[in-house]
Amino acid sequence: MNRIYLYILIIIGSFCMGSCDDMTDAPVYSENEVIAPEAGTAEIYVLNEGLFNLNNSTLMRYSFSNGTQTPDYFKKINKRGLGDTANDMAIYGSKLYVVVNVSSQIEVIDLKTGTSLKQIGMLTENGSSRQPRYITFFENKAYVCSFDGTVARIDTTSLAIEALTQVGRNPDGLCVQNNKLYVSNSGGLDNPNYDNTVSVIDIASFKEIKKIIVGSNPGKILADKYGDVYVVTRGNLQHGDYKLERIDSSQDKVVESFNFAVLNFAINDDYAYMYNYDYSSGESSIKVFNIKTELIERENFITDGTSITTPYGININPYNGNIYITDAYDYKVTGDLLCFSPQGRLQFKLKNIGLNPNTVAFSDVASQSVIDENNEDTSEAFASKVLEYVPAPSQYMNTSTTAYLPGYGKDDVLAYANKLIKDKSLLSLGGFGGYIILGFNHAIKNVQGEYDFKIYGNAYYDMYGTASGKLGGSSEPGIVLVSTDANGNGVADDKWYELAGSEYHSDKVIRNYQITYYRPSPLDGNVRWTDNQGNEGFIYRNIYHKQDSYYPAWMDNTITFTGSRLPDNAVNEGNSVSQHWVSYCFEWGYADNHPNNTEQSQFKIEWAVDEYGNSVQLDKVDFIKVYSAINQDCGWMGEASTEILTIENLHFSK
């Protein structure tokens, strides 16, 4: 399974909307329509957080003057990526500040040119990550809250960190009101033992002067024009017990708790635009709340029938009051940006702006950046085609993560898989045996003693370590095989050779393991499996993924896979109250086993062995096959499944 979303959304509560995947897929769009200029607005910037631990955050710029949309704007200017899991963004003065959570840095960008001015590392004295989350500004200072329980004060001229102050556990939002900083302390990493306080910091002394008791797991926090502060308290994210509370900044205490559910919101003048998501029903809503009268003015903000699949970010254009809402779809395809008037009517839509768009920033001054469209293109270094894609049943089945849209047949799925691989979008292989075969526009050479290719997955290490001290977190290993196009027909029908990883000679590996999956009846039932070891079990449904079936809609009523089964690697290191599953990494030689930024995500062709375990010398390979090699249910996290984004030839040169 893909644990990224569950880990972030449920345990950390880290995505800005905190919503769970409803598994609705994005439609295919035509080109963007011509958009009329926005009053007072020269450009907008959209921050796309990408996928956790995949180092694929991007920044999109749209210019109203010439109607140009520039995806990955930061990379085009600076010739490098933005970092891993960009969480927040804001413009202050002539600079754009981007908070990059997993990379633990603040990227400071010159608005005029788009160039990076500085990367401010948010690290502790021993070099570990503070995990910065949100940013706000006051009188030429930037304030950044981080999950390590600190708020940093940064001078906006020197871009130096001037001071740090301690607040509560895992702060997850901050704002300024009445010359004070208000910081929501979520305790989100201690599920279910959340924090329930808002820290009050005197800006002049930069010291915490009070903790205000609020509801459990506070998150988004905003100030209004009347001297009040509003904070969302999310409780247990799975149960949807979200509330909105009002703090009087003159008394620094909660004076009102509203009995409607809010997960995220934005304030403009007298109005709060509030988003909510119900995990149990999968329903979402956007309401309009009058903060002056304390009444819901519209139960449905959108008045023209426009549909939004998964609202992910809500921002208000300060120059004209229009409301911008991002749609993340299923969190694994590029999202869209929709602009509405305050009356709830769609003004325009920008399509395919990036993966998981979360924040919009508005500029009244046009930039003068120069985009070099002749940058060296290394795309040919990556896998160019999917020859076969046969995923096993899983909680992500019949969604875009398994290259499926409603009504798709086998050929449609293969075509969609080809698009996703070229876009470096996530593809799940499902439970044990599910596989993919990838090809290249060229052969990958076997250079003795060197790594030859790299497989990108979505493995990550547990940020707090493991009970044993060994490397682990989310590791869903897939076995890797290689083949040469010996007959020259361009089809992967020649002999396959396994790359012998660290567990190859282990007596815990089951060779010639065979598993058969059965289409359930009814379709929304658990998917039964049997194996050749006399065992049976299920791919169990869960509350997070509610599509009609976990069984591939386009396949036969039974599916059988054969391969080597690696030993179970997931352990529940939680307690009687809360499960905390850790999947331990094997040492080396498996896909989706270690994070992409580690040596262990790379592979050597010289590891190839034949069916008898004898070493095989291959000068090159043309095809690479990966299949899920774990058959284990991990409680509420679901089945183990290998995920693939792409494969890179490490010896490629133009």
pLDDT at residue 118 in the model: 95
The mean pLDDT of 134-149, rounded to a whole number, is 97
Q: Are strands 68-70 and 86-92 parallel, antiparallel or unpaired?
A: unpaired
pLDDT at residue 196 in the model: 96
pLDDT digits (tens, 9 = 90+) for 109-126: 999 999 999 999 998 887
Nearest to 459 by CA among 449, 480, 474: 474
pLDDT digits (tens, 9 = 90+) for 354-393: 989 999 999 999 998 877 655 544 568 999 999 999 999 9
Q: 20-34, 166-180, 320-334: which has the minimum mean pLDDT?
A: 20-34
Distance of CA 371 to the CA centre of its chain: 27
* Matching residue, tokens 């000068």: 619
Distance CA 320, CA 437 (A): 51
Q: 20-24, 447-451, 628-632: which has the minimum mean pLDDT?
A: 20-24
Of 208-217, 273-282, 330-339, the range with the highest mean pLDDT is: 208-217
pLDDT digits (tens, 9 = 90+) for 483-501: 999 999 999 999 999 999 9
Distance CA 250, CA 372 (A): 52
324-345 burial code (b ≥16 CB/10 A, e <16): bbbbbbbbbbbbbbbbbebebe
**One-letter amino acid of 361:** A
9: phi then psi, degrees, rounded to nearest 5:
-75, -40
pLDDT digits (tens, 9 = 90+) for 320-344: 999 999 998 877 778 999 999 999 9
The rounded radius of gyration (Å) of the Cα atoms in the chain is: 25
Per-chain mean pLDDT for the chain: 89
Q: Are 183 and 147 in contact (CB under 8 A)?
A: no
pLDDT at residue 603 in the model: 98
Output the pTM of the full model. Answer: 0.74
Distance CA 170, CA 608 (A): 46
SS3 at position 168: coil
pLDDT at residue 378 in the model: 53
